[in-house]
Structure 1
Amino acid sequence: MAELTTLARPYAKAAFEHARAQQQLAAWSAMLALGAAVSQDDIVQRMLKAPRLTSTEKAAAFNEVCGDELNAQVQNFIQVLAENERLLLLPEIASLFELYKSEQEKSVDVEVTSAFALSADQQDKLAKVLSARLSREVRLHAAEDPALIGGVVIRAGDLVIDGSVRGKIAKLAEALKS
Structure 2
Amino acid sequence: MRETSIARNYAEALLALAGKAKETAGFGALISALGDAVSGDANLQHFLEAPQISAAQKSAVLGKALADKAPRAFVLFVQKLVHNRRQMLIPAIATEYHDLLDAAEGRVHARVTVARAYDAAATESLTKALSAAIGKTVVPHLTVDERIIGGVVVRVGDTVMDGSVRRKLGKLRTALVGAR
Q: CA deviation at 1:151?
A: 4.5
Q: Which moved more, 1:138-147 or 1:30-39?
A: 138-147
For 1:16-165, what aligned pairs fall within 5 Å after superposition? 16-40=15-39, 41-66=41-66, 68-146=68-146, 150-163=150-163
**What TM-score results when the alignment is normalised by the length of structure 1?**
0.79
Return the TM-score normalized by structure 2: 0.78
Q: 2:100 is aligned with what amino acid? A: Y
1:4 aligned onto 2:6: no
**Percent of pairs with identical residues:** 33
- After alignment, is 53-62 or 139-148 more displaced? 139-148
| Aligned 8 A contact 1:35 1:66 in 2 | no
Name the CA shift for 1:159/1:20 in 2 (closer, same or farther; >3 Å).
farther
The Cα shift of 1:157 comes to: 4.2
**Structure 2: gaps spanning 5 or more residues:** 170-180
Q: CA deviation at 1:129?
A: 2.6
Contact 2:127 2:138 in 1 (8 A): yes
What is the CA–CA distance in structure 2 between the aligned matches of 1:160 and 1:73, rounded to whole Å? 40
- What is the match of residue 174 of structure 1? none
CA RMSD for the aligned pairs? Answer: 2.8
Q: How many residues align structurally? A: 170
Contact 2:62 2:79 in 1 (8 A): no
Which consecutive unaligned segments of at least 5 residues does structure 1 have? 170-178
